[in-house]
Structure 1
Amino acid sequence: MMRTHYCGQLNPSLADQEITLCGWVHRRRDHGGVIFLDIRDREGLAQVVFDPDREETFNKADRVRSEFVVKVTGKVRPRPEGAVNPNMASGAIEVLGYELEVLSQAETPPFPLDEYSDVGEETRLRYRFIDLRRPEMAAKLKLRSKITSSVRRFLDDNDFLDVETPILTRATPEGARDYLVPSRTHPGTFFALPQSPQLFKQLLMISGFDRYYQIAKCFRDEDLRADRQPEFTQIDIETSFMDEQDIMGLTEGMIRQLFKEVLDVELGDFPRMPFSEAMQRYGSDKPDLRIPLELVDVEDQLADVEFKVFSGPAKDPKGRVAALRVPGGASMPRKQIDDYTKYVGIYGAKGLAYIKVNERAKGVEGLQSPIVKFIPEDNLQVILDRVGAEDGDIIFFGADKARIVSEALGALRIKLGHDLELLTCEWAPLWVVDFPMFEEDDEGRLSALHHPFTAPQCSPEDLKSNPATALSRAYDMVLNGTELGGGSIRIHRRDMQQAVFEILGIGAEEQQEKFGFLLDALKYGAPPHGGLAFGLDRLVMLITGASSIREVIAFPKTQSAACVMTQAPGTVDAKALRELNIRLREQPKVE
């Protein structure tokens, strides 16, 4: 062993012992003829003191620079009065350095590590191996490891088996685009990288494994919105002979234990909320319950007003008019209202009507708003009563297609909650249940809201006669407005699976070609089964308080799905392409 201890493990109980440390020079300071080196390793920092008495060692310490890799032997001693550093795990002691060996020299790093400097993410990702030396980055990855250990332990204790499923598989319709891998041995054909282990985990249930889990890599070639990665990790779980309540109870237990072990936080109740209620009250299928604001429907009061902006959507069966009351918001300056109007525009809203409630007792006179003149006073009073308006409030309105109103006001609700510091607690978990089976696009085509293997709450006959209103046996766990994981009871009968495929417009031939193996498996005794998958990256992000999932992934991709450190994706030489029977239509641009 080169070392006897990690830097962060040193403490006063080791006083007067001789120890050996290995690590990086975090910072170097000269103080009145004495040299101090802070040595850093995975577990923390330790201060080593070199004095001129040991001339050879002192001269070596004098030549050492930041990020040199060194081995130090010395004696642990308490720090002098007044020199104790409470911010450091080993801050009560220091090491008197006897010997110093430089194992590796370092050039000046592209950004300093001994103090935080905002160097821009591109540089940090380009030199990720250096970025990860920063104690705050190392702490996030260590916590990630602690989280996966806790999850594995819980699932192992509950008789789950860890089974790996293939990475080279075939393309299936899961919503996003597949990453394709050309096959050399079967010319002209392609493997796909899995978007999730969905079908394999169902087949494992059909094989009788009863309880399966895997911390699985998944791949999606999607246009990257705010916080998505082309490859991500999920905690994948599937069980047999358990219903929704059992699965939700079990995984809720797992998340509770995780928060207790990792953060020492007791999560409160996990309320259950139907999808329809979540959309109506919060405009989101993953509501952030820390924020007390709610959307209130008011179209019944505005259907007959002459103001077409309101009456149009109020009369449209697919329209919605909703109000959002912000307590104490009447003091909001015009510029801020304009900013919020711009913000809801991102979600397709054409504007943001508002009423400032200055003094309700004065009736219409006590209201300040460009829209009051269009609304009869009786209707106004009903609206104000319904939202619970009080003096000093502002009420925002959204009127448009239901989806746009829900998205725009739902997003505004979150933004206001943070801007005005309205959060009522630190953690607010819940389950969203009773999702629709299908969603309709503008052309009236149906697609699966979760995936086509989700069981409906009705019989195949009822499903075929009313597909648009059918509810599924799906459930999502939500925490602080982030979906932690989602799952469902799966279809375990062939007739039901075929009914769903038919509704989705997948004909008998395509069913056989793409899902023949699943339909075959369902013929040979499939148990009732279900499961869910948690997004590990997102879970770690929430627990560490990171601002992006890129902060909790060791080597993430950028927004354009590239790795600036390894320069991936890269070009391939002509010979390799020939072997794969691939000819490029466009030559890649060299950056």
Structure 2
Amino acid sequence: MTDLLGDMKRTHSCIELGDSHIGQDVVLMGWVQHRRDHGGVIFVDLRDREGITQIVFDPSFSANVHEKAQEIRSEYVLGIKGKVSARPDDMVNPRMTTGAIEVLVDELRIFSRAKTPAFQIEDRVDASETIRLQYRYLDLRRTQLKNNILARHKTTMTVRNYLDAQGFVDIETPFLTKSTPEGARDYLVPSRVNQGDFYALPQSPQLFKQLLMISGFDRYYQIVKCFRDEDLRADRQPEFTQIDMELSFVDEHQVMEISEGLIKAIFKKVLDLDFPEPFPSMTWAEAMDRFGLDRPDLRFGLELKNVSDIVANADFKVFASVVKNGGLVKAINVKGCADFTRKQIDELTEFAAVYRAKGLAWIKIKDDQWQSPIAKFFSDDEKEALKKRLDLEPGDIVFFVADQPKITNEALGQLRNELARRLGLIDDSEFKFTWITHFPMFEYDETEKRYQALHHPFTAPTESDLDKLETTPLEVNSRAYDLVLNGVEIGGGSIRIHDSKLQQRVLKCLGIGEEEAKEKFGFLLEALTFGAPPHGGLAFGLDRLVMLLCREDSIRNVIAFPKTQKATCLMTQAPSKAAAAQLQELAIKTVKPLD
């Protein structure tokens, strides 16, 4: 078999050459980024993973090679031998790392010819995402995506080095496992050997990492694929990657300290940024009160203010009735924006409606005059109280949402973020972290008429609240904690329940009886009876973290081969129909999709 490389062995990457290499013979290999023919001399920008070097085919230097180079086109794969030469002074390109030199080619090998790509391999590509996902292998040649994937590599290597130094052991857990309720739909995998039975792809390694603590491994980590069959958006994929870790004999502060150290190490390695101070922290209750969301963006102000007490007896019955029925009235003061047009206000009202707000009340402050359809319903004392609490000044506009607490907080919290985007209040170069702690243990699902775990059912309740589990479960706080960066939850964890009886009490609160608990979690409950250490952990979303590191707005831009928002792969055309013989082996019969 002929060796296409022959004696041509690459000596340098396409970013290494500089003044110190002038006069040396070198071998480069890569793709043709651009080809230019200037009066018989052919200039080619040769690209590899590291960068670009200009190579030159000059007939006066090598006529035969120059003739062969006539056929070169964009994205051809080349190997060249040549001599490094200084560029003429008027042709130096200071924007290129190798812009002071070029390589005069005296041997050329064309390893592969290329069709015209579906789009130009440039960072400022104007092709649709659909086309770029269809030809993802071409899209990954672009510098932007290539650098994102390299940043991801740096991130994962930093994780491994840091956690190894902290005494963690990298242990793999199964992909084919038992379906357990963890908040999202499972991906089911039929078993051929055990026909009629199904495996589930793990939503997380939660139960296995707890079992590893019971096994005595003390500190575990894994960079692991997880799977959730749920509706997608920019920061979700059906398969995603977690930096997963679990520790024994620790409290929440120790877990948070190690996790914070990991994040600081990643930012130092990938972006050369230092964060010398400890990350700030706030309780879930404080985050909801000030920002309406448990993942607050701290890069700007626009904090929410609770005005329920002020408007409880106002003549504006919408506000008064909401308060009377246990609801919440909150407001946000947008300083200096009293010139918002009615069209802008209507757009913001429509935005709030997406989050189930039934309306968006507003008041403009102009020369100490209140301009609003609702201004007449407030007494002078109520106006004065609102003015003081909201710091109202001429030129401001204030928006109100009145509804049940969950809707009020979500709608106004999301409106806060939208206003910051529209008004340019966000500094994209900033990274603002905060820990969120003391989450509620449960929330009540009005649809299913039962309690649900706010995180997951293995989270430990705060010890001081244990006596409330059976009587007032909504007053129970958990030992959970999330790390939020720029309004995005990048990681979350908790101290786990390590006592079998307490675990059964929590499951009972969730409406999971003894028999159901044994069926779904029997192996964990039994393991807890064999001596389980106090333990806790945290999982970071690797995709989200790298997205923020790369200042991207979608995790699809930091995953090599992502799915679309409909969970399809446009490149491989997955998912696809299974062959009849395969279905027969699995004892599966397909039916028409439900409407």
After TM superposition, the score normalised by the length of structure 2 is 0.96
- Distance in 2, matches of 1:165 and 1:223, equals 26
Query: Which residue of 487, 490, 503 maps to 1:484?
Result: 490
The one-letter amino acid of 2:57's match is F
8 Å Cα contact 1:571/1:588 also seen in 2: no
How many residues are matched?
583
8 Å Cα contact 2:234/2:553 also seen in 1: no
SS of 1:6's equivalent in the other structure is: coil
Percent sequence identity over matched residues? 56
- Map of 2:546 onto structure 1: 540
Query: Which residue of 257, 263, 270 maps to 1:262?
Result: 270
- Map of 1:352 onto structure 2: 360
**What are the Cα deviations for residues 473-519 of structure 1, in whole angstroms up to 9, with x where unaligned?**
00000000000100000000011100001001111111111111101
Query: Which residue of 168, 172, 180 maps to 1:164?
Result: 172
**What are the Cα deviations for residues 178-227 of structure 1, in whole angstroms up to 9, with x where unaligned?**
00000011110000000000000000000000000000000000122343
8 Å Cα contact 1:66/1:108 also seen in 2: yes
1:334 deviates by 2.2
Matches within 5 A, 1:231-246: 231-246=239-254
- Distance in 2, matches of 1:406 and 1:114, equals 43
8 Å Cα contact 2:135/2:571 also seen in 1: yes
Query: Which residue of 342, 350, 366 maps to 1:342?
Result: 350
- Distance in 2, matches of 1:115 and 1:164, equals 37
1:376 deviates by 1.1
1:115 deviates by 6.1
- Distance in 1, matches of 2:416 and 2:485, equals 16
Query: Which residue of 272, 277, 288 maps to 2:281?
Result: 272
In the alignment, does 2:259 pair up with 1:251? yes
SS of 1:330's equivalent in the other structure is: coil
**What are the Cα deviations for residues 532-552 of structure 1, in whole angstroms up to 9, with x where unaligned?**
000000000000011210000
- Map of 1:42 onto structure 2: 49
- Map of 1:552 onto structure 2: 558
Give me the CA root mean square deviation. Answer: 1.5
- Distance in 1, matches of 2:136 and 2:353, equals 36
The one-letter amino acid of 2:286's match is E
In the alignment, does 2:442 pair up with 1:434? no
- Which portions of structure 1, spanning 4 or more consecutive aligned residues, are displaced by more than 4 angstroms? none
- Map of 1:18 onto structure 2: 25
Matches within 5 A, 1:465-476: 465-476=471-482
In the alignment, does 2:431 pair up with 1:423? no
- Distance in 2, matches of 1:191 and 1:531, equals 25
Between 203-212 and 89-98, the greater mean CA deviation after superposition? 89-98
- Map of 1:289 onto structure 2: 298
Between 110-119 and 235-244, the greater mean CA deviation after superposition? 110-119
- Distance in 2, matches of 1:587 and 1:404, equals 34
8 Å Cα contact 1:429/1:478 also seen in 2: yes
Between 448-457 and 504-513, the greater mean CA deviation after superposition? 504-513
Query: Which residue of 208, 220, 223 maps to 1:200?
Result: 208
Query: Which residue of 392, 406, 411 maps to 2:409?
Result: 406
Query: Which residue of 123, 129, 141 maps to 1:133?
Result: 141
- Map of 1:311 onto structure 2: 320
- Map of 2:64 onto structure 1: 56
Query: Which residue of 443, 452, 457 maps to 2:457?
Result: 452
Structure 1 pair 218/115, CA: closer, same or farther in 2 (3 Å)? closer
**What are the Cα deviations for residues 227-260 of structure 1, in whole angstroms up to 9, with x where unaligned?**
3100000000100011000010111011112112
Matches within 5 A, 1:524-535: 524-535=530-541
- Distance in 2, matches of 1:514 and 1:432, equals 30
Between 278-287 and 29-38, the greater mean CA deviation after superposition? 29-38
Between 90-99 and 175-184, the greater mean CA deviation after superposition? 90-99
The one-letter amino acid of 1:564's match is L
The one-letter amino acid of 1:476's match is D
In the alignment, does 2:518 pair up with 1:509? no
**What are the Cα deviations for residues 47-105 of structure 1, in whole angstroms up to 9, with x where unaligned?**
00111121111011111000111101111122221322222222221111111110011
- Map of 1:522 onto structure 2: 528
- Distance in 2, matches of 1:63 and 1:155, equals 51
- Distance in 2, matches of 1:17 and 1:200, equals 57
- Map of 1:363 onto structure 2: none
- Distance in 2, matches of 1:587 and 1:359, equals 62
**What are the Cα deviations for residues 13-32 of structure 1, in whole angstroms up to 9, with x where unaligned?**
21111111111111100112
Between 330-339 and 227-236, the greater mean CA deviation after superposition? 330-339
- Distance in 1, matches of 2:16 and 2:166, equals 34
8 Å Cα contact 1:206/1:521 also seen in 2: yes
1:287 deviates by 0.3
After TM superposition, the score normalised by the length of structure 1 is 0.96
**Where do 5+ consecutive residues of structure 2 fail to align?**
1-7
SS of 2:104's equivalent in the other structure is: strand
In the alignment, does 2:589 pair up with 1:580? no
- Distance in 1, matches of 2:338 and 2:124, equals 40
The one-letter amino acid of 1:556's match is P
- Distance in 2, matches of 1:228 and 1:553, equals 11
8 Å Cα contact 2:496/2:536 also seen in 1: yes
8 Å Cα contact 1:27/1:114 also seen in 2: no
**What are the Cα deviations for residues 553-580 of structure 1, in whole angstroms up to 9, with x where unaligned?**
0000000000010000111111111110
**Where do 5+ consecutive residues of structure 1 fail to align?**
361-365
- Distance in 2, matches of 1:136 and 1:91, equals 20
- Distance in 1, matches of 2:517 and 2:186, equals 19
In the alignment, does 2:91 pair up with 1:83? yes
1:586 deviates by 2.3
**What are the Cα deviations for residues 269-288 of structure 1, in whole angstroms up to 9, with x where unaligned?**
41111101111110000000
Query: Which residue of 380, 387, 392 maps to 1:389?
Result: 392
- Distance in 2, matches of 1:387 and 1:117, equals 46
- Distance in 2, matches of 1:548 and 1:181, equals 28
8 Å Cα contact 1:16/1:75 also seen in 2: yes
In the alignment, does 2:39 pair up with 1:32? yes
Structure 1 pair 406/115, CA: closer, same or farther in 2 (3 Å)? closer
- Distance in 1, matches of 2:22 and 2:356, equals 66
- Map of 2:5 onto structure 1: none
- Map of 2:107 onto structure 1: 99
- Distance in 1, matches of 2:93 and 2:302, equals 44
SS of 2:256's equivalent in the other structure is: helix
- Distance in 2, matches of 1:115 and 1:211, equals 42
- Distance in 2, matches of 1:563 and 1:202, equals 34
8 Å Cα contact 2:292/2:410 also seen in 1: yes
SS of 2:91's equivalent in the other structure is: coil
- Distance in 1, matches of 2:17 and 2:593, equals 57
SS of 2:305's equivalent in the other structure is: strand
SS of 2:90's equivalent in the other structure is: coil
- Distance in 2, matches of 1:230 and 1:59, equals 51
- Distance in 2, matches of 1:351 and 1:468, equals 28
